[in-house]
Structure formats: structure tokens, C-alpha cells
Amino acid sequence: MKVNTRSALYGATLLSASNILLQLLGFVYRVFVSRLIGAEGMGLFSLVMPAYSVIMAVVVAGLAVSVSRLSAGYQAVGNTRAVAQLTRRAIGVFLALFALAAALIIPLSDGISVWLLGDARTRAGLLALLPCILFTGLENIHKNHFYGLKKVNQPALSEVLEMTVRTVAVIALLTLFKPQYEEYAVALIVAGMVVCEVFSAVLLRIMYRREQRAVVPAGRPVPRREMLRGMAAIAVPISLASLLSNLIGSAGAVMIPTRLAVSGLSASEALSAYGVMLGMSLPLLGLPSAFVAALALVMIPRLSEDLALKRLDAMRRRVGRALRAATLALAPSLTLLAVFGPKLAVALFGQAAAGEHFPLLALGTLLSCYHGVLGSLLSGMGQQAKTAANTIAAGLVQLALIWLLTARPSLRMVGFAWAYVAAALVGAALCALDVRRFLYAPGG
């Protein structure tokens, strides 16, 4: 029997399998890296990564989603010329945005590392992020081109190979150079990330060129202004939401060690506690989220196609199936992690604190996954502004609770865990209400 490689079932199954493999590879990678650089090194790396997320939010987050959604729409009406045109336009916009971001970050890197990230040792890692972001952006545009056309084989292969290259490159660099200081260790980790992103960007470009040679041009080219307006209508709300939510998350990341110091911990103890939670405990609980990411990537272009063809009943069926599948995948796995995760975390990472607060963190992760699924469904329905508002609201709740709770000596990191649960609950509830309003509005 011939397999339909563009079906939702095939896409979800393949991406789930590849994402599970990616999560396992990433988890092994984190175990080795955490043992090589220690809890404080992981904390410093966790301070650098919010800067990566903020820059990515500005230069590529919304742009990549616009490629996926518009490609699906153009493909639905048979306009293959517009699909190729869209990818070229997106690359041009991305390169312009990246150049602007780099021109601002390089001369301001000292101030960013000291005043915004809260530690001068983050500067080397911050500068090393720029080439990583350049190749990651190119890679993401090509990936979303394939996702929009319901072709999941190419991105799935590239992601597995990319994670393999990253694991080998980072561990090799840390083992070879044996950095004595945490800032050098962080810079070497980012250098390993650059190696894997170059590999993935080149591989996807080759796959894209091969795919384009097999396409028969059809349809009319879309006027430049019309296409840019369409891209902006999708990308700007998503980029703004991603930027604001990442700024809020970055503020929280910088705030946690500071508030822990207020509670009575030394600066080193605070950074270590932060590194254990963000670099060890939460990544272990994040393993089941592989399915969520796969589900989102499959559903967004399909919902966009249903929206373009005004198939509301089909959208309702897709949403129902997506939520049932998410529940079946997430609830059992996170329950098991809540029970057995603490001992597993301690055994893997060699840190007693890695096993703390697991039941509470598992609940927060479950709610956060629902928030992610529902937010992706809203974006696929063209409601990206509502996804943005809900994400920002959840982030503000988390930020406020981090400020209030983590400075208390009786709470500290359990205060962070409660903030994590509350924010995920707010985000999931708001997105659920908006999904229901869209699908079951009077007269819909």
C-alpha cells in the first residue's frame, strides 16, 4: 500500500518520532554538557540563551510562520510560482533584519552582558550567537517552506542530523579545550551550535534546490507589495508577541538569580540553583513536548488551508483530534516523570537539587504543552494576535510571581515552580477560550 507522505497522520507520526529522537539526543547532550561545565556553567549558559531567543523573535520567528502559512495557501490554489517567490522574499527580509540586529548588538555587547544579562561573563557567548542566528534563520525559512507544502521528510532528517552534529561538536570542543572558566565554556558551546547550524542550513538549501527543480511552474507571480503585506500581516503580530514574551522571559531569567540572592543565597549558589532548574530539571520534563512540537508543525499549514477554503467543519474536526492526541501523549508520560523523575534526574546529572519539585513542575509542563498546542491552533486559524496577547499575559503573570515568591527564604525555587504553573494555566485557559469562540461563534 502506498503511503501518503502529505497526510496529517504521516506528518504527525514522522515528526513525533523525529522529535522524540531529537529530545533524547538533546537530553543526552545536556547530561554530558552539565557534567563537563557544572551547575554554575549551566546557569551562565541559561543567561545567554534568552538573548538568543529575543534576537530570533525579532528577525525570524514571525517570518518563518508566515512562510509556512502562505506556502500552504498558495499551494492550495495551485500557485507554485508564488511559493518559490515567497521563500526568496522571506530570505531577503531576514537578511536585512539580521544585519540591523548585528549592527546594534556588536557595539553594545558590553552593556548588554553587564546591564541586561546581569553578568559580564556572557559577552563572549553573546557575540558567538550572531553567526549561529544567521544560519538558524536561513534554516528555519527553508524548514517552514517544506512544512507549508506538507513535506516533512526533509526537515525531520535535517533536525536529527543537526542535533547529532551539535552533540558531537560541543562535547568535542569542551573535551579538547577543557575550559577553566565558565565564560569560555559557554563560548565553546555556542561555537558548537554554529557548526551544527551551518551544516543544517547547507543541507536544507540543497534539499530546497532539488525540490524546486522538480516543480512545474504554475499560477501568476504575486506583486511584491502584496506579498510583503501578506507576510507582514502574519509575521508582525507573531514577532511582536514572541519578542515581548521573550523579553518577559529574559527578565525572569535575569531576575531569578538576583531574587535568590535576596533570599540569602550567595551569587554562586543562586546561579547554580538557577542552572539546575533551567538546565537539568525542566529539560528532563520537557521530553514529552516533542509530540507537541510535531503536532503544531503539522496542524498550522492544514488549518491555514482550511481557512483559505472556508472549511470550518474540517477545522473543528482537526482541533478535536489534535487535543485528544495531545492528551493521550502528554498525560501518561508526565505522570510517570512526576513519580520517577526525581531519582532519574539525580542519577543522570549528579546534582541532588535536580530532583526537587518534580510533581509541581510536571503539572506546569503539562499546562504549558496545552498552551503551546492551543496557541499553535489559533495561529493556524489566522488568530495570531490573540495567541500573542495570551502569551504575553501568561508571561507577565510568571514575571510577577517570580518577583514575589523566589526572594522568600522559605520558597526560593519552589516559588519559581508555582510561578511556572500559574503562567501555564493562564496561557492555556485564555487560548482555549479563544479557540472555542472562533470555532463555535454564533453563525459560524
Q: Would you list the domain boundaries of the chain?
A: 8-440
Q: Please give the model's pTM, rounded to 2 decimal places.
A: 0.76
Amino acid at 366: L
Q: Which residue has the cell 453563525?
A: 443
Q: Which residues contact 256 (CB under 8 A, 6 or more apart)?
A: 270, 274, 402, 406, 416
User: What is the per-residue pLDDT across 19-71, written as a single tens digit (0 to 9) for each?
Assistant: 778 878 888 888 889 888 988 888 889 889 888 999 999 999 999 989 998 99
Q: What is the CB-side half-sphere exposure of residue 168 using CA atoms within 13 A?
A: 9
Q: Which residues contact 274 (CB under 8 A, 6 or more apart)?
A: 43, 46, 253, 256, 257, 260
CA 6 to chain centre: 24
Cβ-count burial of 216 within 10 angstroms (0-12 exposed, 13-18 middle, 19+ buried)?
Answer: exposed
Tell me if 374 sits within 8 A of 428, measured CB to CB: yes
Spans of the chain below 50 pLDDT: 1
What pLDDT is attached to residue 249?
80
* Cα torsion 435, 248, 95, 298: sign: negative
Cβ-count burial of 340 within 10 angstroms (0-12 exposed, 13-18 middle, 19+ buried)?
Answer: exposed
Q: Is residue 12 within a helix (H) or strand (E), and if so which, with residue range?
A: helix 8-56
Q: Is residue 109 within a helix (H) or strand (E), and if so which, with residue range?
A: helix 80-111
Tell me if 57 sits within 8 A of 136, measured CB to CB: no
* Nine cell digits for residue 160: 536529527
Show the 3-state SS of 241-274: HHHHHHHHHHHHHHHHHHHHHHCCCCHHHHHHHH
